[in-house]
Chains A and B, each alone.
Chain A
Amino acid sequence: MTPSQDMQGSEPLLSVRGVCVTFGGIVALNGVSFDLRRGHILGLIGPNGAGKTTLFNCLSRLYQPSQGDILLEGKSILKQPPHRIPDIGIGRTFQNVALFHNLSVLDNIRVGAHSRTTSDAMSDMLKLPWARREERALDKRARDIADYLDLLEVAERPVAGLPFGTQKRVELGRALAAEPKILLLDEPAGGLNHEEVHALGDLIRKIRDQRGITVLLVEHHMGLVMSIADHVVALNFGKKLAEGPPAAVQSDPDVIKAYLGSKDA
């Protein structure tokens, strides 16, 4: 925790404290700590194998850290089973897009709201009044999100045939449907062209500004991170290398060395 952050007061939304993850003998994360402030966009950067995705998977409870803790609003998330993570307000997208390919765009978004709906199998089969009511409300919400992300035209289509950039927006919509406090984005710029990356940056900022969602962005694309992040954390070999405002991290000699290699290497 840096002194500047302490001075800003108010409790961080998410706090990563000394997280260690090992696979067999390999140490993937070695005591990583940082805070994510409410309403911020935090960029998590680092070369391949730095541990970014491992950390990401700890946050979505796919991996269990061997040491350390992760706190959301002061409460440990490590005691929650994976399927409770969306309930407590953590949403995510996947590195290579993990959509439900045979379902329509709207249905993908509807599944996103699974944790915000309650209807059970029996009510669903009998179409009982409350299940019907919930379904109607959900339908409206899914259409609103599709509209927000410019997906209405393809709303009824199965996602399998859609262009990659569109699929990424569907995945964002699916994550938004869960009304997360924090949105974890795993390399959202991957596979996008220059213009699409630019539009994505605007969209992420728009989501933060209009919906008040805090964003943790794992990204290779330095241009994107530097243009939208409020705060950057750089990892290398499972350790935190540098942390601070984008410009400061970008000019940090250790970070430059990690990306470009040192002169004597």
Chain B
Amino acid sequence: MSTIQETVAPAAAARVTIRRSVSTIAQIVVLLLLLATPLFVKNFVIFQLTMWLVYAIAIMALNLLTGGSGQFSLGQSAFYALGAYTSAILMEHADVNYVLTLPASALVCFVAGVLFGLPALRLSGVYLALATFALATAMPQLLKLGVFESWTGGVQGLVVTKPDAPFHLPISQDMWLYYFTLLVTLLIYAASVNLLNSRTGRAMMAIRDNEIAASALGVNLPLYKTLAFGISAAFTGIAGALGAIVVQFVAPDGYTIQLAIAIFLGMVVGGVGWLPGSLAGSAFIVFVPNVAENISKGLSGAVFGALLIVVIFVVPHGARQVALYGEALAKKFLKNN
């Protein structure tokens, strides 16, 4: 960043162009990898990759809330659960097509997010984090309540039927779900990028940087703060719904506070406020536990913790820092050639 800041306008413009071309190339490479990888791996790996994308959506949603509007949440698992159950109940009890359950989950979670966002208006920083923490701890128990048991299946949960690929495509169910999830991920990514570069997104970031100034410029603080919660919850709900379809099962204990913390951790590792980092953060929470288990079966938790500490020490700003470093290298390379 600082290299750009210290130059005069024409040179800066040229560098911005290089910078854009570097990031465009990076985006194309990542997209090609995302498209091609499943063709060369086993079904179980495809399943893991799909879950990686699902968590990436959830992390992206938290990134919009925290990186965008500056509000913390340790309660994302609650919205994830709500989305998962909405989808599962619609599919199993009402026979709704799995594709249609996604917007339904988004809508339910948007409403829940806004409703939760309203009391949260009075809280900020660590207090808001604690209030959302309460939401995350309450959710599994609410899902177990006897009143809802005929819908939710209580402690047993619900089994979801795995959808087949449409149009008799000759690909496995796992592979189809991967590409379906990838499409949804890309759509949500595009919507998030659009949002952050728009009037709404700028209003949210203005609130994050300076509430009083934002208000003096006519930004309706309660509206945009609750809106941020609602949008974040809606995207998390879509992730939850996809997760339910991919795993083919929902149960209360799948959506504990641990999930919320994992999502939070993924956001930090990916870089707070940097949307592409959500993929890296998600990779960390999906794959590093496996790596840790391979290193030591008995002490996998300790190994994971040690790896996490190493990451936080070496790159405190997460994957974003790595990307900026890579970009600087690429620019140097392009300039010398």
List residues of A (83-101) whose CB comes within 8 Å of B's CBs: 83-87, 92, 94, 98-101
Q: Which of A21-29, A153-161, A202-210, A256-264 contacts B (4 or more CB under 8 A)?
A: A153-161
Quick check: is B111 within 8 A (CB to CB) of the other chain? no
Is the Cβ of A125 less than 8 Å from the Cβ of B191? Answer: yes
Is the Cβ of A174 less than 8 Å from the Cβ of B210? Answer: no
Interface of B is mostly: helix
Contact of B218 among A85, A102, A107, A134 (CB under 8 A): A85
Is the Cβ of A178 less than 8 Å from the Cβ of B12? Answer: no
Quick check: is B216 within 8 A (CB to CB) of the other chain? yes
The size bracket of the interface on B is 35 or more
- On chain A, the number of residues with a Cβ less than 8 Å from chain B's Cβ atoms is 42
Q: Which of A94, A111, A115, A117 has the most chain B CB atoms inside 10 A of its CB?
A: A111
Bound-state CA distance A245–B267 (Å) is 59
Quick check: is A103 within 8 A (CB to CB) of the other chain? yes
Known: A111-B203, A124-B195, A124-B198. A152 touches B217 (CB 8 A): no
Q: Which residues of A contact B192 (CB under 8 A)?
A: 125
Is the Cβ of B231 less than 8 Å from the Cβ of A121? Answer: yes
Known: A100-B206, A114-B199. A153 touches B9 (CB 8 A): yes
Q: Which residues of B contact A114 (CB under 8 A)?
A: 199, 202-203, 206, 217-219
Quick check: is B32 within 8 A (CB to CB) of the other chain? no
Is the Cβ of B217 less than 8 Å from the Cβ of A157? Answer: no
Quick check: is A62 within 8 A (CB to CB) of the other chain? yes
Quick check: is B16 within 8 A (CB to CB) of the other chain? yes
Quick check: is A254 within 8 A (CB to CB) of the other chain? no
Is the Cβ of A111 less than 8 Å from the Cβ of B202? Answer: yes
List residues of B (149-199) whose CB comes within 8 Å of A's CBs: 191-192, 194-195, 198-199
Known: A62-B212, A131-B198. 20 other contacts (CB 8 A): A60-B216, A85-B216, A85-B218, A92-B216, A99-B213, A102-B208, A111-B214, A114-B202, A114-B203, A114-B206, A121-B200, A121-B227, A124-B195, A124-B201, A125-B194, A125-B200, A127-B198, A135-B199, A152-B9, A178-B217
11 inter-chain pairs at a CB distance below 8 angstroms, sorted by A residue, are A83-B218, A92-B216, A98-B213, A99-B213, A103-B206, A107-B202, A120-B200, A124-B199, A125-B231, A126-B191, A153-B9
What are the 6 closest A-B residue pairs judged by CB atoms, nearest first?
A: A115-B218, A124-B198, A86-B218, A100-B209, A98-B213, A125-B191
